[in-house]
Structure 1
Amino acid sequence: MNKMGTIIGFTFKNKVRTKSFMITTLILVLLLSIGMNLPYIIDQFKGDSTTNAETQIAVIAEDGNQAAELLKAYTSPEGMPQAKVVQYTSADDAELKKALDEGTVEGYVTFAEPTGAGLPPVTYHSENGELKGDVQIYLQNALQQANTQFVVGDKLTQEQIAAMSTPVQIATQQLNPDGTAGDKDASQESTPAINYVIVYAMLMLFFMSIMMTGNMIAAEITSEKSSRIMEILITSASPLAQMFGKVIGVFLVGLLQIGVIVAAVVVNLKLPHNATILKDLDLDLGQLNINLLLYGIVLYILGYFLYALMYAAVGSIVSRTEDLGQAVMPIMMLGFVAFYVPLFSISNPDTLLVKVASYVPFTSPLTMLLRIGVGEVAIWQVIVSLAILLVTTFIFGWLAAKIYRTGVLMYGKRPSIKEIRKAMKAYKI
């Protein structure tokens, strides 16, 4: 055990200090930081100093214009886009032109001559001739209420006019199997958006970590074997201590990389200009499924060791680093299948393919993660999937130990399966 601890520590320190690890981690953190701060960076280059300022809309009308007064008096309901209406008497007003140039005013509204009992025809003028989403929603609601008041005059109160202009909300209810109406249970409620984001992020992160660390293990074992260092190493520590020491050491490297990436996300979220980023994206951390994080950690650990042991076994039977890519190709293809099945099913996580894949040990780490996060899965199904994955990991651990102990001292061309089986019978694990 002491020798394995030494190997774990040596592997961890050696891999963390490599340029490839540092550069890869740095690039991931930089890309993540740039992506999270891209809107702010764009605003800085555009010189937009009104990012957090209230949107202003100008209206061109003479003092006392009823339509303009009604538009100015409109108050947007809570939760709807907000704006401030500023009145000018002419489109040639110097202050209006200055506000448009500086970007403090989005555009201005003009009214044509009245053509009937309702509000006069309205035209919105802007630099690109388009209405932005929030401005369009605000103006449509404001002008609708103004038009109603313009028609009814003093016949209705302000509260009645506001009630007429408020959109009717339509609730939904799922029918029970017998066709009767009933409340949805907890499993039938819509999945919060934050769970989709976390599932997508964990799928990407776990897949990259498992594939990168797996290749790292295979490459190191093959490199030691091709340089004949392996013959010296096995005299100081048993092959099993070497294999599991390397696997656990690289596992710690993967955890460190994930920790650095998560820390980068937290730091970027704490920046002042990103304080409202989750709210702007309609993401609520309070709706996050905690079981997703807990089961995700367990699935990652079991999935990592399953693939890492396979990579270690393959790396031990390859004598030249030039042949390693071809040798690990089947494992990589298996990993891609495990990744793409849940990735392309994230919008429909309860298909038969996803359900079957969540019990296959090579695909279950990511597929069951998807079902827990955004699908419908019973606790017994999670337990069965984890049990199958755990048993498979132990079986492959035993096989990998036999293959590793045999393969590290087999040089020359890559041995056939028959030759490996024959050599494995000489060792008992």
Structure 2
Amino acid sequence: MNKFFVILSHTYTNRIKSKAFIITTALMVAAILLMTNIQTVMEVFQGDEDEKSSVALIADEPEASALAASIPGGEIYEGEEEDAKKSVRDGKFDGLLVVEKGEAGLPAGHYYTDEFTSSTDQEVRQALQQVKMNAAARQQNISGEALAEISTPVEFETTALEEGAKSEEELNQARVIVYIMLFVMYLAVIMYGNIIATEVTTEKSSRVMEILISSVSPVTQMFGKITGVALVGLSQFGIFILSGIAGIRISDSSENSLIQMAGLSNPDWGIITYAVIYFLLGYFLYATLAAVLGSLVSRVEDAQQTVTPMMMLVVVAFFFAISALSNPNAFYIAAASYIPFFTPFVMFTRIGVGEMPVWEVVLSFGVLVGAIILLGVIGARIYRGGVLMYSSSSLWKNTKEALQLSKKE
């Protein structure tokens, strides 16, 4: 057991001190602090632009007054159209809206601007649309109250009759949590799976493994590395979480913080608990596979190619999970949730957005734990023989040779 902790400590210390870990962590912390204060940052950079924003208006009454009131920075221009265009070119106005009578005598606009800015164009278009609707209503002798009533969105509410079903608010919150956890699991498996495979291959390529193998069993090495990298991941994500909390506290307006906008001010801790459990089980499943694959090659360049099939499994699982967000009870989704390499992603998504029977959840845990044990037993045998191989044959041939070597020990 002491040897296990020596391998674990060595792996953890080396990775924590590596430049890749420090740079990646620093960049992610900066990104998290930026995202949690994005509204403040946007206000700082957009403050001056908003003050300078102005649109010249050439139109007859009552359209001119209505547009000036509804367009931000709208200003009725009293001069000639050509003079107004010159003012736009000189930068005095951001744009010029000329309103004339179109078909059926309704307002039609022509917008002139130096640069195409979709946000301003959209604001002007929406304001003119409203003016046109009002003009059409007046032509048809429709009162303003009647027009407002017609334009009011229909009242619509959905209620699930199934007992214990999530409300719409709970479902939206669950979707946000599921999206976040899916991306976290996806990135973690890809990042740390590569690290484990590369770690094993690097030691093999430097012949360090031949020295280690005489004092520490291959199985102890494999699980020591897997656990060490897992602790690296937990440390890194712990830093990210603390950075997020710090960013929210720094934010001037808690009501407009990222947590409030995402609807996570009162999170569902049940879903978060499932996320942690499936994350850990999924990590150990993929990490064991990555260690085995890394032991079958002797060059770091080959390690990247060897773990490609594993990465494809992760990508497929991720897309199954995204599909499950909209249709969690589809037959192919239900079937995929019991395939071990898909279970952490798909079953967690189904739990997050639907109501799952307890037996299905327990069965998925059993499938995952069973797969980890089976892969651990088989993987330990392959790892035991694979770490002493230095051939560059095909993956399948190397696997057979590794199993044969493990039997001779």
C-alpha distance in 1 between matches for 2:269 and 2:18: 35
Per the alignment, residue 111 of structure 2 pairs with 125
Give the drift of 1:368.
1.8
Q: Deviations over 1:80-138 (max 9, x none)?
A: xx8576545446688x95899356x765464659987xxx6353534269873344334
Q: 1:369 to 1:148 in 2, by over 3 A?
A: same
Preserved contact between residue 185 and residue 279 of structure 2 (Cα < 8 Å): yes
Q: Do the aligned residues in 1 keep the contact of 2:12 with 2:232 (CA within 8 Å)? A: yes
Q: Contact 2:165 / 2:354 at 8 angstroms: preserved in 1?
A: no
Q: Which moved more, 1:370-379 or 1:393-402?
A: 370-379
Bigger shift: residues 349-358 or 133-142: 133-142
Select which of 194, 197, 216 maps to 1:218: 197
Q: Would you say the 8 A contact 1:342–1:370 is kept in 2? A: yes
C-alpha contact 2:88 2:96 (8 A) present in aligned 1: no
Q: Distance in 2 between matches of 1:381 and 1:100?
A: 68
8 Å CA contact 2:40, 2:252 repeated in 1: no
Residue aligning to 1:77? none
Between the aligned partners of 1:100 and 1:288, the Cα distance in structure 2 is: 52
Does the CA contact (< 8 Å) of 1:345 and 1:354 recur in 2? yes
The 1:408–1:17 alpha-carbon spacing in structure 2 relative to 1, beyond 3 Å, is same
Deviation at 1:356, TM superposition (A): 1.0
Partner of 1:9: 9
Task: Report SS of the residue matched to 1:125.
Answer: strand
Q: Which moved more, 1:85-94 or 1:388-397?
A: 85-94
Give 1:361 shift.
0.8
Structure 1 letter corresponding to 2:224: G
Moved more, 250-259 or 415-424: 415-424
SS of 2:91's equivalent in the other structure is helix
AA partner of residue 333 (structure 2): V
Structure 1 counterpart of 2:352, which letter? G
Structure 1 spans left out of the alignment, 5+ residues: 75-81, 177-181
In 1, are the aligned partners of 2:58 and 2:98 still within 8 Å (CA)? yes
CA RMSD of aligned residues (A): 5.0
Question: Aligned residue for 2:156?
Answer: 171
Q: Counterpart of 1:171 in 2: which secondary structure?
A: coil
SS in 2 for 1:338: helix
- 1:101 is matched with which residue? 91
Report the structure, 1 or 2, having the larger helix content: 2
Aligned to 2:333: 354
Q: What is the Cα deviation at residue 170 of structure 1?
A: 5.0
Superimposed CA distance per residue, residues 217-254 of structure 1 (whole angstroms, 9 cap, x where no aligned partner): 22222332343323433455444432222111111222
Q: CA separation in 1, counterparts of 2:11 and 2:138?
A: 76
* Residue correspondences, number: 401
Deviation at residue 388 of structure 1 after TM alignment: 1.2
1:366 to 332, 345, 353: 345
Letter in 2 for 1:354: I
- Specify which of 357, 361, 379 is matched with residue 400 of structure 1: 379
Go from structure 1 to structure 2 and tell me whether the alpha carbon gap of 1:86 and 1:249 turns closer, same or farther (over 3 Å shift): same
Residue 18 (structure 1) aligns with: 18
Query: How far, CA to CA, are the matches of 1:144 and 1:276 in structure 2?
Result: 34
Q: Is the contact between residue 402 and residue 424 of structure 1 (CA under 8 Å) also seen in structure 2?
A: yes
SS of structure 1 residue aligned to 2:202: helix
Q: Percent identity?
A: 33
1:338 aligns with 2:317: yes
Q: Aligned-pair distance for 1:394?
A: 2.3
Q: Which residue of 2 aligns with 1:49?
A: 48
In structure 1, C-alpha distance between the alignment counterparts of 2:27 and 2:263, rounded to whole Å: 28
Letter in 1 for 2:109: T
Which string of whole-angstrom CA distances, capped at 9 and with x for unpartnered residues, describes residues 176-216 of structure 1? 9xxxxx79973584885565454344333322321222222
1:285-324, aligned counterparts within 5 Å?
285-286=264-265, 289-321=268-300, 323-324=302-303
Render the CA deviation track for 1:246-287: whole Å, top value 9, x for unaligned. Answer: 11111122223434555666677766699858599x743358
State how far apart, in whole Å, the 1-side matches of 2:89 and 2:164 are.
53
